[in-house]
Structures are given as C-alpha cells and as structure tokens.
Structure 1
C-alpha cells in the first residue's frame, strides 16, 4: 500500500486496496499530491498548505518527522440508509507527521481519494487566513461547474450544472461543490469535501488553465438586515481570516471521487464514508418517510366546501390525504406562523394544537417551516414549544451562506433538534458534507435547483433532471421535491405560481421516487390532483424513501439514469431520460432465485401528445430474464418487484 525508503524520503506512493488508484505525494519546498487511475494521470502535482495569522504555515517548508500507515476493511451500518444499509469501508491511509505539530492524512479508496490537515497546535484559538487548495488536472477536462457570482461567496446552492472545458473557466468565475469532471479518456470524477465542522465551505475558481483553485468565505464580523427583507443581509465588515478555531483539530477532507463510468457515481457514498460516525445514543425515533407539501401547489385545493388557504380546514385536508395514502408527514411551510420572524405565534386562522392532535389521531406527523435567523436567535424557546405542540420535525430555510458561523449553526441545529427528537430538513442550504451520518436526524438537504423553480422559470428540464444524479446527488440526500401532476412535453410548458407544472412525462416524475436519494421525500402537488387519480397515487405512495441496497444499471450524465434498489424483500427499478426517447435491456441478475410479480409504470403510447399518459403493466419475472425498458422523450420508467410465495 505504501512505498518509500525511509521516513526522510521526499516521495511517497499510496495505493488503493485494489491497486487501481495511486496517490503520489512529494514533500519538498511544499507538499503536493498527484492522482492516477490505471496509469491515467488525472491530477498533476497540486499543492496544499495553510497560512495562520500567527506566522505558522502548515505545509510550507515541510519536514516529515514520522510516517504512519494503516489499512481498514470494515462495514458501516447506515442508520438512515440513503443508498445502502451496509457500506463497505475499505481504504489504505498514510499519515505524514510534520515538524511543527501538524500532520496530513491521505486515503486511497477503490472509488476515490482524499486528504486532510490535522493540527496539534494547542487548545488556544488559531486564525486561518488562507488555505491553499488546488486541483491541477492533466487534461482539459469537461466540467459541470455550478456557477456563482456573489462576491461574498454566499449561495443558495441552486445553480445550473452546465458543461464547459476547464480552460474556459476564467479566474473571475467560481462555483461550488460538488463538481463533476470527465477526462478525455473517459474517467469520471467528482470533487467535493466531507466532515466539515467549525470551518467554512470550499469554493473553486477557474484560472483559464487546467487548474482550479480554492477560496473560502471570510468570517462575518458585522452585518445588517437588507431593507424590506426578513431574510437577506448586507455584510458590513469581514475579518481577514476565514476561520477562528481551536488549534487541536482535524480539518475537512478534500476528496476526489473516481469512477470508470458515470454509472458508478450512482452508487458512490464517499462523503458518508469520510464523515464522523453517529453520535446519537438512540435513533429508533428517527422515521424517514413521505410528505405532503403545501407551498409548491399554493394550497390550491378544490372540490371542497371551505375556502382553501393557510387555515385549519385546509391542513386537515392534507392530513386526510396523507392518511389515506400512507404518507408519514405533512409540512406547513412559510405562512403558518403569524410572521416569518415570530415562530412561536401561529397564523390566527390556524389552530396548530388542534391540527396536530388531529394529525396524530390519523398517524400523520407535522413538520413546521422556520426561517433560520429567528431560530438561531431563539432556538431553545422555539424548539421547546414545537415539542409541546407535538411537532415531529423542522424545515429550516434561507440560510444561503456557507461561512464558518453557518456551518456551526447547522451543527447546533442538528444537536438541539436531536436532543428533542425532532427531524431536521435543511433548505436554502449548502451541499451535504456528512452531517447526516453524525446526526441521523438531519434527514434531508435542499441545495439543489429543484421542482420549485418551475413556478417562475423554464430551466427544470429532463436534461437538468438527468444531470443531478451525477452531480449534486453524489454529495448526499437531495430534496428536489418531486411529484408534479400537471406534466408537459417540450414546447407545452408555461409558468404558473398557483397551478405549477413540470416538463417531461408523468412517468418521468414517478421515476424520481426511485432515482433521487431523499429519506424525507415530498409529494409536492395539490392533494386534490392526487385524489383525482387514485391508481397512480397509490402506486407512487408505495415507494420507500430509504434503501437496503442500490445497484446502478445504466447512466450517462445529462442523458439517462437507471437504478435498481432493494427495501426489505422488494426490489424497485427507476429510470429517466432526457428529451431523447430510448430503451435498455436490463438483465435481472440482481434478483435471487424467487419469482417476482413486477408492476410497471411506463410512458403511455400517447405520452408524446399528452405527457401525463402512462401505462400500468403487471406480470411475473425471475432472475434469469432480461427486462426491456423503454422511455418516451422526457420520459421515465418505474417498477415494483414483489416476491411470489
């Protein structure tokens, strides 16, 4: 696993357990690493260092005092299994201890590489003015950079993933992680970070070359509310440093996920593997599940004898719908409270205690929306009141920041909700970095350009939807909020705030319940629309939100994705395509020797004219067979496989 001559050697080589991935480390005037896969040079020597305000500079003029190596081969048991209940954790590690009381740890997995700094500089605070992060790629690779333009490095993490070449990204342009990269030779990579604690998020800038360089949002010393806004802030003063933290600590993992194909990215769980283990002593109360959501459909229910809106009668209607179809929760989004900043006073038209008692009698939990700033200021009082009311979780929204304070807010919110046995759904949020492993009650993250954008723009297309599994979703759970019932083909879409619709077919929407990782999965549309189509609604309501096993079947970024997933004794298949109709022959080799009843929901014969057209087929299959999957333009495919006997 490790090749070197003495502890004073300048060059070290670390191999992955299967010996297909190589990390080469050079220690001279600085420390660099390079990465190869099957002898293809992916990353040329790329430097890493830190500059502290007290003059200490880990990584600059380094001297190795000791090397420590180890191999790990064990299994992680996931408490809330996003992709797999059992996750193999197999890697080789090299730790270089340096003079100056710091180390750098390198890991080589069979599906990626990572490094991080570790400091033993004493318990007193240190201020980090700069961390050098560079990715110097060998080739002018294709890159899907989610571009941002806020000079303060503030972001909702809801940009588009658009293809470009590395050399086309100027020094003025930056993007956030995760970042998809494909070499001309066909190797796929995703750059991201994990185990982020008391430290800001990493952003990557172009250089007009094949190198990307890192930058971090500075610590905010003073801010003021933006006029006429309850959530936006103006930064008045920033520190010169991006983190003030303890001198004894581990820093975030910088990781490159590596795959021979796009398909392999659909199974990757590197961020989860690099995260800290669960710290909660009891987790049986954490219940993933499906949610009826109000905001996307604007509470635009119909066929009732009361005025719909943010009121008790409307939400009892949601509860009745959720109960009838076995959904676990309803969410009361923005508007349930008297004001967005007073999260202890319900809207006068809403009897929150009576509603929760009613929902509890129907075995439906209630999740409440909360603006992050008021929650941050009055967390104990707000969460204690929610517990008294019987609330099951909190959807925290509009953080739109990625600095050190915000990272610490996430962890404090995770701790305090867990202490009260509340779920935490993070919206307006940065990408997953593994907090959901340490605190499994962190049930979902947004940080994605999802379905809500259909209410005001036309960017949410089947091309976008088939890009997300290979980009944003590689980092972790993704609250895209699927379930649109008003479906349109390519040129039929129009914007509506009160009756929003989706682009692509009904079967395309259904496929998201299998393809998209989301332990808290939304039914975003109007319950009245679902109730009009009970056959379809009963079908999609049968999909679990967590999985014992995930098998990637087909995949190509921005074109198509097909996976099989197991939950209990049942298997589920989900496939989606972009605007190109296509078909696949799928050998059912993942099945055991049993016969299965397969219930298929596929694009109807007239889906090209009427996007909501679908067909249901039921038959028997077994492991020796090949299943043909066909999808219309903008279409999808799902199947539920139940063992017979």
Structure 2
C-alpha cells in the first residue's frame, strides 16, 4: 500500500474570516464554506458549473439548543491524502484514495459547544460529515432531525424511488424534480413492509441529470450507529434536505461524544460512466477490520429458490394453521406435496452445480416454521437449526462434500430481529459444524421490536452486529431487505452483497420495467453490490405455475449481460436446472464469467437507456463485456482498445437475434465467434429489453483462432 499524508497551508485552500475554500486534487471541483449570520453553509462547483448551490448545514437535538445556528468559525485544518489500497474483492484490483481535506471547527457561542464539519474533496466529488469531539457541554444527545441541505441549481431530471423507512423494493420513476409530488401515489406499490413518509421524499442513492449534461448523485457512506438518510424535496425551491429514519418513539439517533455522523456524498461528472466508476463511497469507509481474510471468497451459486418465488413449489412442509417450535409434531403432519427443500431434490441441484462448476447451492425452506412465518408479527418464529423431516442435514452435508460443492444457508428472520439475535450464535455454530460458509439472511415483514423500522438506527446496528458475529465463525453474509449498502464492505468484506432493492424476484410478482437494470448501477449499486439473482431463461412464469401469469421482461441475451453490468461477488444462476439444460450453449457464458475483477471500464452509459461494461478477470488476462438495454431498440458501438495491444482474443458474442423482443420473442439469441484485437470495433444491435454478452479469451496459439473471422 502506498500512502501520502501531508498537512500544509497550500494553494488548494484559502481561508478568510468566517469562510474557507477547497479545490479537488485536479482542480476541477471547488468547495466553498462559510458561516453566514451564525449558520454554516456550503456550495460546490464542477469546472465553474453549479452542482450544489448554497446549502445550510446542522442538526436538531432533543431538549437542547439545536446545532443549526449561533456558530462562529474558530479553526481550520487542511490536508491532502493519497493512497492506493487493494480490496479483498471488487471491480478493480487496486483503488486510489486521493483527496484534499478541509476540517472546520465551529463553536456555538451561547452553549460553548463544538462541532467539526469535515469535507473531503475528490476528483469525482465530495464527502462530508459532522463530528463531535469530547467536550463537557455535549456528551449524550439525541438527534431529532438533520438539516443538511442539497440545493439544486434547476429542475433536474431524476431517477427516483419513494422515500420509505422500510423498503427500497420499488421500480424507478424518471421525472423532473417538480413532478415527483404528482407521481408519488403511483410510484408507491405494495410491499410486505413499507412506510412512505412524504409526497416529495425520495431515497438515496439519488441519480440526477441536468439539462446541460451534468450527472449528479447523492448518497451516504459509512452508515454506522446512525439512521438511514432519505431526501425530502422542497419542490418550490428545488432544495433537498436530509430526512432520517425515526425509531419507535420518533427519535432519529442516539449519540455519545466523541462520535460522528455518516458521510454525505455528492458525486458529479459530465460523463455518466464516471459516476459508475466512482470509489468515493468505498474510500470514505474505514480499512478492513479483519487481519485474516483468506476465508472470504466470491461465490457463484444456484439454488432451490426460483421455483418457490414463482409458486411452483413451497417453503412450507406441512398443511398446518400454526407452528410452535419445540412443540409441533411434524411426523404426523400432512405434507403439502410441494415442499422443495427435500433431500433428493437438493441432491439433484448439487449434481447440477458440480457438473457445471458452481460453488454453492442455496436451499430455502429447509427449517421448520414456514407454515405461519409471514405477516403474523410472530416473535419466536424460527430457530435456524431444526430441519424439516424430509431434509437430512448430515446426508446432504456429506453428499455436497463428495461433489466439491457447499450448501448455502438461509436465515429468514421474518423481521423478528430479537429472535434472530437470540439464536444467532447457535445458528452460526450450526453452519460451521455442517460446512456452510455463506448465509442469505432475510428481513421480510414489520420489525420486531414493534415500531422499529428496517432503516432506523437500531436496525442499522443489528445488521453490522450480524456481519461481525458471522466473521467470528468465518461466515459470509448476503442480507436481503436490509438497509441499502454504504461502502461498509471495505471494512467488513464478509458482507458480500445485499438485496435492498427491487430484484429479479419481482419478475414473478408482475415484472420490472426493462429500464430497471439500466438505472440500478447508477443508484442502488453506488453503495455496494446487489444480489440481483439474474439468469432467468424462461420468461413465461406460467410454465412453472399455471396460476401465475407474470412475465420476465428480458431477452436471454440480456440476462447473460447482467452478470457483467450488475456487479456482485455473489452471482446466482437463478433459473431451474431443467431449464438450463435446454440452453446449455447460453449457460456457458454464466459458467465462464468471473465474479472477481482486476479492472473495469464503462464503454457506454446513459441512465434509463443503456449501460455497457468491460471487466477484466482478476485471475487471467480474459475480459468480459455486458450490455443491458431499455425497451427501445438500439445499436451499441464499442471499441476493444482496452485489450492488451499485440494480443489476439477469441470473442464469443451472445446477442439478440434480429427479431428478438423482450415480450414477443425473448428466447431469440445467437452465438458467434470472432478474432479480436485492441484495434477491433463492434456495432451490435440490441433488441427492446435486450442486450448482449461477450467473453474475450486470450488466444494461446494459432489453432484457437483458425477459421474465425476478424472483427
């Protein structure tokens, strides 16, 4: 690791009176800070273009003088920092962390309290947070509101989902900021647990585009011991203000100095691809907390899951009105006849995984309690160690071992968080004893303790506690329905992925818009990878369940592309083995594509329209390209200048056929091979709801390229 930390008074910052200025290392961003009539304010420009107009800063406290005014600037510290660090896994092998920093110390004269606001200005944007040093007049305090503002320069186009204390599982709406209020009712669709709070409240990461082509992204980083931030829009003045998730009694955060808030982030560029490549969120998190990370490995998996999501099979073993753990006798219960997590069925999946090189098999519905788990606000719902009668833990453990495959554990908490913490240590120990090293946890439904929210401080603390406890047992975590990520995977790299957005499962609940996966990388994935569960080859859900008429809005070629465009070190081939057996030529791409990368390039990008990524395998010189398209037919034009000059590669292109269409002809794909070099170019048609995927395998000798056309 290379580090450079310099404290000096240099030209990148100027200080006078109650104001200070800061420039990014390359000089493109310009931050202005001022205490104006006792109120701290800031603004941000990119190459002279306004990103954030003058905006107020501060917090409101319970029973105390608010930290919003009455300040004077008493001290300014400036520094520059430059390091290169290596993530345990990620989109690139190395990450540069280079910023100029301005820390302003503010004294509230009437109360003699001190607050520090720390700004870090990178070449791609800004991070800032509030800090509270040890002091006599501010030790224990309760935040009732955060008044951080982000004033927009105009009525930008936004890619947004409704502000909600309990879910992000909404389809995105594209509109002007001024149109959010009028569209909110239709944007709020049903969910198992949801608490929308405002006609103009939206969630981060929020993506926007100005009329003159500036891309702006608002989010947060290092969400620890604090509640999740939403954004409330004053649509008369186009000013966003932070809106924190409350607890059961309406408070936002309980603080003890010395402490700090999470970072608030502003990423901006005139190039959409720069937003996707920004590492600000990661760089604002602390370095890895673990000395040994050898047990943390990216995973490609299949699972006993999609058949339950579509309704073909069930999680529950028996037809029972209710279950009491330790009391209900399942030996005399009437089986449903649809229970998927049975020994022989799981063995079939293990065989498929072993044959095709998948690392693990997720099995949901293996443990007792699924008969009455949902919607009952039931405290003692699962114990996470007791299997159903038709699921033989010992036999499956040994069978998986014999095939070189691991099973992936599933812990659905039913949002009874108190119950999960009650059983957590025993559950993780059970995993260790039975060769499970990865868990998919879930938080469906309203939180217990009742009144708490998925995105409040209490739950934020729980999610991190679960990850840290898992690390003690060398367990990797994939948390569904948890708070959206904020770069914490740098500190806790066993947090492989989250759901925290509307994923593939909604394709079986009525469908996602084709543009959905052209927006998620600009929004939800800014904070960290998502377990999107791609790879659906059968679009007609009724083929699995005649009572479900849902349709997966995609072509097969686009499903392959998602393994490149929807970054995650945890990638699932989500469809059924019997379906994959019909399309083994297309399955080959899923088998070949890596889940850990040495380098990433954005070849084309426009939020809501299309994204084309190229990524280099961390363990070879091979590259992979993926293109996801919205509902419009488009032509993708890319160059292969990211390839090493002088080398030849065999390009296998998985693309839509000419007549492909996500509704009318989704299975129409073709596979072609060419020889490509760094001088090659491609013009590829993409069907509505389509895309393409390319594997670029370095040719080792002439025989591999014999008979292939040059591209």
Asked if TM exceeds 0.5, the reply is yes
Residue in 2 that maps onto 1:167: 178
State the superposition RMSD in angstroms. Answer: 2.3
- Give the Cα–Cα distance (whole angstroms) in 2 for the partners of residues 338 and 41 of structure 1: 55
2:409 to 368, 376, 386: 368
Q: How far does residue 119 in structure 1 lie from its aligned partner after superposition?
A: 0.6
Please say if 1:214 is aligned against 2:267. no
Paired residues of 1:30 and 1:60 also in contact (CA < 8 A)? yes
- Give the Cα–Cα distance (whole angstroms) in 2 for the partners of residues 355 and 614 of structure 1: 37
Count of aligned residue pairs for this structure pair: 613
Paired residues of 1:300 and 1:526 also in contact (CA < 8 A)? no
TM-score by length of 2: 0.82
- Give the Cα–Cα distance (whole angstroms) in 2 for the partners of residues 308 and 244 of structure 1: 44
Name which of structure 1's ranges 516-525 and 355-364 shifts more when overlaid on structure 2: 355-364
2:122 to 109, 121, 128: 109
Residue in 2 that maps onto 1:351: 392
Paired residues of 1:488 and 1:503 also in contact (CA < 8 A)? no
Q: How far does residue 605 in structure 1 lie from its aligned partner after superposition?
A: 3.6
Residue in 1 that maps onto 2:559: 509
Paired residues of 1:297 and 1:500 also in contact (CA < 8 A)? no
Residues 500 and 173 (structure 1), Cα distance of their counterparts in 2 relative to 1, 3 Å cut: same
2:635 to 576, 583, 594: 583
Q: How far does residue 98 in structure 1 lie from its aligned partner after superposition?
A: 2.3
Q: How far does residue 470 in structure 1 lie from its aligned partner after superposition?
A: 1.9
Q: Deviations over 1:468-522 (max 9, x none)?
A: 2222222220111101111379xx9999677965212110111001111111111
- Give the Cα–Cα distance (whole angstroms) in 1 for the partners of residues 22 and 352 of structure 2: 55
Secondary structure of the structure 1 residue equivalent to 2:471: helix
Residues 389 and 261 (structure 1), Cα distance of their counterparts in 2 relative to 1, 3 Å cut: same
Secondary structure of the structure 1 residue equivalent to 2:348: helix
Please say if 1:270 is aligned against 2:283. no
Paired residues of 1:92 and 1:108 also in contact (CA < 8 A)? yes
Paired residues of 2:223 and 2:486 also in contact (CA < 8 A)? yes
Paired residues of 2:635 and 2:685 also in contact (CA < 8 A)? yes
Residue in 1 that maps onto 2:685: 630
1:330 to 361, 373, 377: 361
1:463 to 515, 525, 550: 515
Name which of structure 1's ranges 602-611 and 126-135 shifts more when overlaid on structure 2: 602-611
2:44 to 35, 39, 42: 35
Paired residues of 2:463 and 2:482 also in contact (CA < 8 A)? no
Secondary structure of the structure 1 residue equivalent to 2:505: helix
2:256 to 246, 250, 262: 246
Residue in 1 that maps onto 2:497: 444
Q: How far does residue 401 in structure 1 lie from its aligned partner after superposition?
A: 0.7
- Give the Cα–Cα distance (whole angstroms) in 2 for the partners of residues 325 and 499 of structure 1: 30
Paired residues of 1:581 and 1:632 also in contact (CA < 8 A)? yes
Paired residues of 2:508 and 2:552 also in contact (CA < 8 A)? no
Bigger relative contact order (CA 8 A; separation at least 6): 1
- Give the Cα–Cα distance (whole angstroms) in 1 for the partners of residues 552 and 366 of structure 2: 24
Q: Deviations over 1:226-268 (max 9, x none)?
A: xxxxxxxxxxxx14x2111221112100011112122222222
Residues 419 and 134 (structure 1), Cα distance of their counterparts in 2 relative to 1, 3 Å cut: same
Residue in 1 that maps onto 2:57: 48
Unpaired stretches in structure 2, ≥5 consecutive residues: 1-10, 108-112, 182-197, 314-336, 374-380, 445-452, 701-711
- Give the Cα–Cα distance (whole angstroms) in 1 for the partners of residues 630 and 461 of structure 2: 39
Residues 61 and 42 (structure 1), Cα distance of their counterparts in 2 relative to 1, 3 Å cut: same
- Give the Cα–Cα distance (whole angstroms) in 1 for the partners of residues 132 and 650 of structure 2: 56
Q: Deviations over 1:195-241 (max 9, x none)?
A: 11110000111222211122112222xxxxxxxxxxxxxxxxx14x2
Please say if 1:528 is aligned against 2:537. no
Paired residues of 2:304 and 2:340 also in contact (CA < 8 A)? no
Residues 495 and 111 (structure 1), Cα distance of their counterparts in 2 relative to 1, 3 Å cut: farther
Secondary structure of the structure 1 residue equivalent to 2:395: helix
Please say if 1:283 is aligned against 2:314. no
Please say if 1:22 is aligned against 2:30. yes
Q: How far does residue 58 in structure 1 lie from its aligned partner after superposition?
A: 3.5
Paired residues of 1:113 and 1:255 also in contact (CA < 8 A)? yes
Q: How far does residue 571 in structure 1 lie from its aligned partner after superposition?
A: 0.5
Residue in 2 that maps onto 1:475: 527
Unpaired stretches in structure 1, ≥5 consecutive residues: 221-237
Residue in 2 that maps onto 1:192: 219
Secondary structure of the structure 2 residue equivalent to 1:548: strand
Q: How far does residue 41 in structure 1 lie from its aligned partner after superposition?
A: 1.2
- Give the Cα–Cα distance (whole angstroms) in 2 for the partners of residues 494 and 318 of structure 1: 17
Counterparts of 1:591-630 in structure 2, within 5 Å, are: 591-593=643-645, 594-608=647-661, 610-630=665-685
Name which of structure 1's ranges 602-611 and 210-219 shifts more when overlaid on structure 2: 602-611
Secondary structure of the structure 1 residue equivalent to 2:578: helix
Residue in 1 that maps onto 2:159: 144
- Give the Cα–Cα distance (whole angstroms) in 2 for the partners of residues 497 and 203 of structure 1: 38
Secondary structure of the structure 1 residue equivalent to 2:151: strand
- Give the Cα–Cα distance (whole angstroms) in 1 for the partners of residues 209 and 338 of structure 2: 53
Q: Deviations over 1:41-91 (max 9, x none)?
A: 12111111122335254452222221111111211211111x212111111
- Give the Cα–Cα distance (whole angstroms) in 1 for the partners of residues 549 and 175 of structure 2: 35
Counterparts of 1:542-557 in structure 2, within 5 Å, are: 542-557=592-607
Residue in 2 that maps onto 1:223: none
Q: How far does residue 324 in structure 1 lie from its aligned partner after superposition?
A: 0.9
Secondary structure of the structure 2 residue equivalent to 1:601: strand
- Give the Cα–Cα distance (whole angstroms) in 2 for the partners of residues 266 and 563 of structure 1: 10
Q: How far does residue 455 in structure 1 lie from its aligned partner after superposition?
A: 1.3
| Greater strand proportion | 1
Q: How far does residue 348 in structure 1 lie from its aligned partner after superposition?
A: 1.4
Paired residues of 2:632 and 2:688 also in contact (CA < 8 A)? yes
- Give the Cα–Cα distance (whole angstroms) in 1 for the partners of residues 595 and 684 of structure 2: 23
Q: How far does residue 604 in structure 1 lie from its aligned partner after superposition?
A: 2.3
- Give the Cα–Cα distance (whole angstroms) in 1 for the partners of residues 609 and 365 of structure 2: 35
Please say if 1:92 is aligned against 2:100. yes
Please say if 1:562 is aligned against 2:612. yes
